[in-house]
Amino acid sequence: MMSPRKDKKEKVKLSKESFQYAKQIFRYIRPYRGIFLIGWIFLILSSFSGLLFPLLMGQLLGSGTESDSSMQGIMNKLSVDDINSFALALFALFALQALFSFFRVVIFTNVTENTLRDVRKDAFERLIYMPMDFFNRNKVGELTSRVASDILQIQETIRTTIAEFFRQLVIVIGGIAFLFYLSWKLALIMLATVPVMAIVAVVFGRFIRKLSKTAQDEAANSNVIIEESLMGITNVKAFTNEKFLIGKYEKAVQYIRDLNIKSGLWRGVFVSFIIFCLFGAIVFIVWQGVLMTQGENPELSTRDFFSFIMYTIMMGASFGSIPDLYASLQKAVGATENLMRIIAEKHERELHAGTLKPVINGEIEFDHVSFTYPQRPDVVVLKDITFKAAQNQKIALVGSSGAGKSTIASLLMDFYAVSDGSIMIDGVSIKDIDLEHLREHLSIVPQEVILFAGTIRENIAFGKLNATEEEIIEAAEKANAWSYISAFPEGLDTQVGDRGIQLSGGQKQRIAIARAILNDPKILILDEATSALDSESEKLVQEALDKLMENRTSVVIAHRLSTIKKADQIIVLENGTISERGTHEELSALNGSYTRFLQLQEL
Ligand SMILES: Nc1ncnc2c1ncn2[C@@H]1O[C@H](COP(=O)(O)OP(=O)(O)OP(=O)(O)O)[C@@H](O)[C@H]1O
Ligand SMILES: [Mg+2]
């Protein structure tokens, strides 16, 4: 709960930097700049032609009240001087506008969708290549929902907001020009009211934006509660913590409600203020304008007066919408910044410089390795770890929970870089080995197997994407998984995961084993499940593991005495250091920490 609050504060502060990041979106638009430019031409055409509407409409409205034509300027050039011509000109204007707008919308959508496809792809590519540390720092659920909402925001902005903002600006600026052209006196009277509205709009807009941003962030926080509760639903139910979580969520949504209601209140004040000023100004201007049309030799013709009024109304509406559009643009800058920050993060390939692709036989050496998680710099998790596993040896790591066993496995996979010392495979430091090459020769069967939503076939083939049907079946057989898979009516095509059937712990483990068999790594890392299986599946899993460990170097985080006994070398970890090492017989004879460990584990 702490981190989102923290970076929310950071975000309000950053503004120059935000633009620096947000600007990078142009990199994605650039390939489509040609068509985008054409879109802009249509936007400019439609915006400027839109300016003629109040003029023509005013002239048409005014024509009914005047017999003589007092038209000058543009109107004369267009030679529109009777009621029918004004109407026809209006129809022509709308036809043109319809055409321009059609192309503008189509082209802007096109550019947006192309750009976003590239952004989406890049963002995912970045995410998937992020170092593990990144995933420790960011909650996955929060990350995905934030990326999704940022992309929506950007989509809306490129597709409509920018165009709309531009159109309103043209209306306001062009409108002012026409007002002065029609009557500078009346225009000045009108402008006396506009700056007041403008200042209030900007100040108000900023305030409202801040409120709604806070509410948005809080909404993201509250979603985390739902996600975490549902993902850990077994725990929630087992500990009957439903009420506690409901209470927590209720508090969060109440807070969001309060924030949004507060922001709604201010929005209401804002809207009514604008409306009041607008109508007040219109009445005032109408009053002054009507006075000007009176007399023998009026300052202003009735037609021009009507045009003036039409401009005022149109500009008023534009002015009202500008703060919202501006707020939306601001949001888009924030959203783009978020996304570009992710894209700008260094991914694994940039952090890991090694490019060597040596032949890997499977000799492992940890040489005075120390390690601290980047997240927790004050806790040294591994201290001066030195051990060596010859090719095809079985190494068992034992030790109490939190001793650092899984951390050793993570370091071997190069999920994190060591803080000190080095890890070598066949004498080559893993820092210098190409990351993909390294991981291709390593497989991990994790403690908790997580299957992807999809078929059993897909889940096994994850170990080798181009595996044939025969290879998959063979791997499943070796993993002792084939008997239960073939018993399913749909066999390998059985859906597992969220929308499919649920497999038992032992069944899932055997799928993970089949996956590793298919991958055929030189080095196998096995994080033995601590949860006991029933003796039947235990036997099946054990057999499968024994087969899997043949002809490769295995590092087994062992909990079962049977596995430990079979190891060529046992390493006993205590608080991140190696306290004892040797075979089962040697260590048992010592009667030291290994013996204590076995007693504690009741092995
Ligand atoms: N991602 C992480 N960020 C920060 N600290 C971590 C992280 N993962 C583990 N730790 C810490 O490192 C220490 C060693 O953890 P590790 O997971 O290696 O233990 P383990 O020996 O595998 O324990 P277990 O038998 O319970 O799986 C623990 O103190 C743990 O809190
Ligand atoms: Mg562990």
The response to whether residue 375 sits with its C-beta less than 6 Å from ligand 1 reads yes
CA 497 to the chain's CA centroid: 23
* Residue type present at position 383: K
For position 195, what pLDDT does the model report? 63
Q: How far is CA 364 from CA 9, 175, 393, 550, in A?
A: 46, 76, 10, 16
Instruction: Pull the structure tokens for residue 238.
Output: 């087992």
Ranges 183-197, 286-300, 424-438: which has the least confidence: 183-197
Rounded to 10 deg, the angle between the 33-50 and 162-182 helix axes is 30
Q: What are phi and psi of 2, to 5 degrees?
A: -70, -45
Give the Å distance between the CA of 385 and the centre of ligand 1.
Answer: 15
Mean pLDDT of 91-112: 94
CB atoms within 10 A of CB 61: 17
End-to-end CA gap in the chain: 40
* Residue type present at position 182: L
Pairing of the two strands 442-445 and 523-527: parallel
Shared domain for 340 and 373, answered yes or no, is no
Give the Å distance between the CA of 347 and the centre of ligand 2.
Answer: 25
User: Strand 394-399's sheet: what is its strand order?
Assistant: 442-445, 523-527, 553-557, 394-399, 569-574, 577-582
Mean pLDDT of 286-290: 87
DSSP 8-state symbol, 412: H
For position 198, what pLDDT does the model report? 66
Shared domain for 272 and 401, answered yes or no, is no
- Ligand nearest to the CA of residue 573, numbered in listed order: 1
Closest residue by Cα to atom 12, ligand 1, is: 381
How many helices (H) and strands (E) would you count in the chain?
A: 25, 12
Contacts of residue 23, Cβ cutoff 8 Å, sequence gap at least 6 = none
Residue with more model confidence, 63 or 372: 372
Contacts of residue 338, Cβ cutoff 8 Å, sequence gap at least 6 = 146, 147, 150
The dihedral built from the CA positions of residue 12, 13, 19 and 22, taken in this order, carries a sign that is: negative
Let me know: does 585 contact 594? Beta carbons within 8 Å: no
Residue with more model confidence, 244 or 17: 244
Give the Å distance between the CA of 450 and the centre of ligand 1.
Answer: 19
Q: In this predicted model, what pLDDT tens digit does every residue of 40-85 receive, in sequence order? A: 999 999 999 989 999 888 888 877 655 444 445 444 444 445 678 8
Where residue 157 sits, what CATH number does that domain have? 1.20.1560.10
Closest residue by Cα to atom 5, ligand 1, is: 373
Let me know: does 157 contact 333? Beta carbons within 8 Å: no
The response to whether residue 466 sits with its C-beta less than 6 Å from ligand 1 reads no
Asked whether residue 512 is assigned to any structural domain, the reply reads: yes
Shared domain for 379 and 275, answered yes or no, is no
Mean pLDDT of 507-515: 90
Give the Å distance between the CA of 404 and the centre of ligand 2.
Answer: 7
- Is pLDDT at 531 greater than 80 in this prediction? no
Query: 316, 349, 382: which is the final residue of a domain?
Result: 349
Asked whether residue 488 is assigned to any structural domain, the reply reads: yes
For position 194, what pLDDT does the model report? 64
Shared domain for 488 and 389, answered yes or no, is yes
Mean pLDDT of 18-25: 85
| Closest among 520, 512, 458 to 490, alpha carbons compared | 458
Shared domain for 416 and 479, answered yes or no, is yes
Shared domain for 158 and 20, answered yes or no, is yes
Query: What 3-state DSSP class applies to 455?
Result: strand
Give the Å distance between the CA of 133 and the centre of ligand 2.
Answer: 17
Instruction: Dump strand ranges (E) for 414-510.
Output: 420-425, 428-429, 442-445, 454-455, 495-496
Shared domain for 404 and 530, answered yes or no, is yes
- Ligand nearest to the CA of residue 398, numbered in listed order: 1
Give, in degrees to the nearest 5, the angle at Cα 17 between 15 and 23.
Answer: 100
Let me know: does 580 contact 592? Beta carbons within 8 Å: yes
Q: What are phi and psi of 65, to 5 degrees?
A: -100, -5
Query: 293, 315, 349: which is the final residue of a domain?
Result: 349
* Residue type present at position 402: G
Give the Å distance between the CA of 405 and the centre of ligand 2.
Answer: 6
For position 73, what pLDDT does the model report? 46
| Closest among 161, 182, 171, 163 to 49, alpha carbons compared | 171
DSSP 8-state symbol, 501: B
pLDDT tier, 296 (very low <50, low <70, confident <90, very high otherwise)? confident
Indicate the burial class of 319 (C-beta count within 10 angstroms; 0-12, 13-18, 19 or more): buried
H or E stretch covering 112? helix 83-128
* Residue for token pair 């991914």: 347
Query: 291, 320, 349: which is the final residue of a domain?
Result: 349
For position 303, what pLDDT does the model report? 86
Atom of ligand 1 lying closest to residue 136 CA: 1
Candidates 373, 410, 556, 559: which one to mutate for ligand 1, based on the most atoms within 8 Å of Cβ? 373
Q: pTM of this prediction?
A: 0.73
Asked whether residue 7 is assigned to any structural domain, the reply reads: no
Please report, to the nearest 10 degrees, the dihedral formed by the alpha carbons of residues 413, 416, 422, 426 taken in order: 20
- Is pLDDT at 450 greater than 60 in this prediction? yes
H or E stretch covering 526? strand 523-527
For position 533, what pLDDT does the model report? 66
Give, in degrees to the nearest 5, the angle at Cα 138 between 6 and 409.
Answer: 135
Contacts of residue 44, Cβ cutoff 8 Å, sequence gap at least 6 = 170
H or E stretch covering 126? helix 83-128
Closest residue by Cα to atom 1, ligand 1, is: 136
Please report, to the nearest 10 degrees, the dihedral formed by the alpha carbons of residues 356, 357, 358, 361 taken in order: 130
| Closest among 602, 576, 586, 587 to 380, alpha carbons compared | 576
What proportion of the chain, given as a percentage, has pLDDT over 70?
A: 92
Shared domain for 326 and 388, answered yes or no, is no
Query: What 3-state DSSP class applies to 574?
Result: strand
DSSP 8-state symbol, 431: G
* Residue for token pair 């205590």: 574
Euclidean distance between CA atoms 207 and 585, whole angstroms: 73
Shared domain for 99 and 212, answered yes or no, is yes
Asked whether residue 355 is assigned to any structural domain, the reply reads: no
Asked whether residue 309 is assigned to any structural domain, the reply reads: yes
Euclidean distance between CA atoms 471 and 380, whole angstroms: 43
Shared domain for 528 and 578, answered yes or no, is yes
CB atoms within 10 A of CB 447: 17
Mean pLDDT of 178-186: 90
| Closest among 260, 296, 338 to 17, alpha carbons compared | 338
CB atoms within 10 A of CB 274: 20
Asked whether residue 1 is assigned to any structural domain, the reply reads: no
Closest residue by Cα to atom 9, ligand 1, is: 407
Q: In this predicted model, what pLDDT tens digit does every residue of 544-596 receive, in sequence order? A: 888 888 889 999 998 888 888 889 999 999 999 999 999 999 999 988 889 98
Euclidean distance between CA atoms 123 and 343, whole angstroms: 6
Where residue 414 sits, what CATH number does that domain have? 3.40.50.300
What's the number of domains the chain is made of? 2
Euclidean distance between CA atoms 56 and 58, whole angstroms: 5
pLDDT tier, 408 (very low <50, low <70, confident <90, very high otherwise)? very high
Give the Å distance between the CA of 523 and the centre of ligand 1.
Answer: 22
The response to whether residue 401 sits with its C-beta less than 6 Å from ligand 1 reads yes
Domain with 403 in it: 364-601
Atom of ligand 1 lying closest to residue 573 CA: 21
Q: In this predicted model, what pLDDT tens digit does every residue of 216-270 receive, in sequence order? A: 888 888 898 998 899 889 888 998 999 999 999 999 999 999 988 998 898 898 8
Candidates 381, 415, 572: which one to mutate for ligand 1, based on the most atoms within 8 Å of Cβ? 381
For position 20, what pLDDT does the model report? 85
| Closest among 485, 164, 178, 422 to 308, alpha carbons compared | 178
Q: In this predicted model, what pLDDT tens digit does every residue of 120-178 receive, in sequence order? A: 999 999 999 999 989 988 888 888 888 899 999 999 999 999 999 999 999 989 998 99
CB atoms within 10 A of CB 485: 25
For position 573, what pLDDT does the model report? 94
Shared domain for 311 and 426, answered yes or no, is no
Shared domain for 247 and 394, answered yes or no, is no
Asked whether residue 357 is assigned to any structural domain, the reply reads: no
Asked whether residue 546 is assigned to any structural domain, the reply reads: yes
| Closest among 554, 586, 580, 584 to 403, alpha carbons compared | 580
